[in-house]
Chain A
Amino acid sequence: MYPGFGPNERTTFAPYGAFEVPADLRELSGRYDVEATARRVRNFRYAEEWTMMLLGGWIATIPEVPVKTGLGKITWDCAVTADALGKRLPELRCGRKAAEASESANDGFAKFIQALAEPETPDLTIEKLAGVFDVLKPHLIAVYERTMRETDQISDAPTIELLEDAVRKTRKHIAWADEVLERLCDTDGKRERRRRRVAALRAQLEACGGVTGTLADETGRAN
């Protein structure tokens, strides 16, 4: 029933691996080593944590009630994603206390987040939503998906799993905000406000290299 120690003491079970049906085509290689993945996870967590905080702050300053309630849910989703990213950090040799570590890739990205958070008054819902949902979140999806594709599919599978969940939720957030913005931008002037806001922030995001600060090396574009 069980194999012994000598060559003649094998069992009679045929070799059968679950990974052979279907064949496991994944390869043991990835673009990021443990340290690089940990850095990216800290960068992602920074973006999610600050998005959570600024959306929470905006709820009181936005007059449209369905937007307030919609942001309430998205605030929680961002918190859950930031929390999951944080819990991955101790698993990536960052120490037990690393679960609350967020890190901006560079000063440029920190300034981008500040620019994102600038709109304050109730007449600026378009600028608030366009910044987060037309610029930052599509960028995060692009970077998360690239990370999922390029990291080691077997060794770094836990990171892939949590990013899959983040991408799924973020897509819903973008679809919701797009519908809201389509309704809010009911004149050419308002559509122009949305376009201008997106153009300015996207330029700033590209200039700083995005959430990881490495866009130029990876794709050369923010989205």
Chain B
Amino acid sequence: MKRFIQHEELARDSRFTRQTTALSTLIAQLPDDVNAVVEVFEKFAPMIEQSTRGTAAEPLYDAYGPGFGLLTNTQAIRPGDPATPTRMKLRMHGIYVGELQALEGAGRSLWDFPDAPWEFKMNMARQCWDEARHVQIYEKLLEHVGGKPGMFPESTFLFECACSDDPALRVAGVNRGLEGLACDVFRDLIKYADEVGDEKMKQAVDYVLADELTHVRFGSDWVREFCKNDPERLKRANEFRKQVDKQFNFGGARSARSDAAIRIAFEDRREAGFTEEELNELVELCGEGPSRETMREAARILRERHHAKKAAAGAQS
């Protein structure tokens, strides 16, 4: 078995379809400009449409056009909102495939770095079990909210942008970037479950969050250990983590704002070992790129153009 695989090589059964990861990468690099966002989504529209075919996202594409993801990503999940059931399924499905990729990332860290210290291997092996349980937990939670695995297309960009060939960068990306994001998303989910009185969801996600804090600590410890006496490597690891964090902002969906779609879980992150300096950097990073208002406006334009195209096509036929 070779070492270092590409995200395209992640094996899935016939229930799953893939979504291009290029779009996620592009969103992270976009300026705060409505036209630029619209242009990118229109360019990727055929690919987005293709990946939604035969999935539960197909009606969403039909209703909102290629920017349907912008609407779901930039809105917080609130009890009583008519869009919440769909958003919840999308969110749960995103977490489920994210956990799958985290499991795969932890497993690959064992195979890709055979000469790593034993304690590192122990931590990664433990993470394999934890992530495996998380996959099982989120499969059940996905069913709990009326969804099922493979109902939406999967973007493997979490694995793509977190899995570096350098173990120091790998743990910075997977254990601090990806798992840090998990802390934010899960704290948000616990709050929602608490608001709607869903004890099953609240307890399960709370356990998962406890595991994620442990994984972030693994990351914090190993970045320090791998970069000991190597300030250049430490700098690269920190830069890599920032780059991953930027991509995981989902175009402004995550921020420190109280009405953010995904709020930064400051307390959990502190407990996991993020420093105040790192948290300030994250807040700053969240402010870069397209704002939520920009994304919403872009989504509106994309929807209008999508319906205009459909109407024109209908008139022709």
* Alpha-carbon distance between A23 and B108 when the two chains are bound, in angstroms: 52
A78 contacts partner chain B, Cβ-Cβ < 8 Å? yes
The reply to whether A53 and B121 form a contact with Cβ atoms under 8 Å apart is yes
The reply to whether B107 and A60 form a contact with Cβ atoms under 8 Å apart is yes
24 intermolecular pairs with C-beta atoms under 8 Å apart: A52-B121, A53-B110, A55-B107, A56-B107, A56-B109, A56-B111, A57-B108, A57-B110, A58-B111, A59-B103, A59-B107, A59-B128, A60-B107, A64-B13, A65-B149, A68-B132, A68-B135, A69-B133, A72-B129, A73-B132, A76-B126, A83-B122, A100-B118, A117-B1
Chain A 8-33 interface mask (CB, 8 Å, partner B; 1/0): 00000000000000000000000000
The reply to whether A75 and B125 form a contact with Cβ atoms under 8 Å apart is yes
A122: B residues at CB distance < 8 A: 11
Instruction: Please pick, from A60, A99, A118, the residue contacting B10 in the complex, using a CB distance under 8 A.
Output: A60
On whether A76 and B100 interact (CB within 8 A), knowing A56-B111, A63-B12, the answer reads: no
* Alpha-carbon distance between A79 and B149 when the two chains are bound, in angstroms: 30
A90 contacts partner chain B, Cβ-Cβ < 8 Å? no
Q: Count of B residues near A, CB < 8 Å?
A: 36
The reply to whether B132 and A78 form a contact with Cβ atoms under 8 Å apart is no
> For residue A50, which residue of chain B has the nearest CB?
B114
On whether A72 and B132 interact (CB within 8 A), knowing A60-B104, A61-B5, A61-B11, the answer reads: yes
Least distance between A139 CB and chain B CB atoms (Å)? 21
Chain A 111-134 interface mask (CB, 8 Å, partner B; 1/0): 000000111101000000000000
A residues 122-164 near B (Cβ < 8 Å) are 122
Since A56-B111, A68-B100 are in contact, a sample of 19 more A-B pairs with Cβ atoms closer than 8 Å, ordered by chain A residue number, is: A56-B106, A56-B128, A57-B1, A59-B108, A60-B5, A60-B105, A61-B5, A63-B13, A64-B13, A68-B132, A69-B132, A70-B132, A71-B132, A72-B107, A72-B132, A75-B107, A76-B125, A119-B1, A120-B1
Residue from A49, A62, A68, A83 having most chain B Cβ neighbours under 10 A: A68
Least distance between A95 CB and chain B CB atoms (Å)? 15
> For residue A102, which residue of chain B has the nearest CB?
B118
B121: A residues at CB distance < 8 A: 49, 52-53, 79
The reply to whether B128 and A75 form a contact with Cβ atoms under 8 Å apart is yes
- CB-based closest 6 A-B pairs: A72-B132, A57-B111, A56-B110, A79-B125, A76-B129, A59-B107
The reply to whether A54 and B125 form a contact with Cβ atoms under 8 Å apart is no
Least distance between B92 CB and chain A CB atoms (Å)? 15
A209 contacts partner chain B, Cβ-Cβ < 8 Å? no
Main secondary structure, interface of B, reads helix
* Alpha-carbon distance between A52 and B122 when the two chains are bound, in angstroms: 10
Residues of A within 8 A of B (CB): 49, 52-65, 68-73, 75-76, 78-79, 83, 86, 99-100, 117-120, 122
* Alpha-carbon distance between A68 and B132 when the two chains are bound, in angstroms: 7
* Alpha-carbon distance between A30 and B156 when the two chains are bound, in angstroms: 55
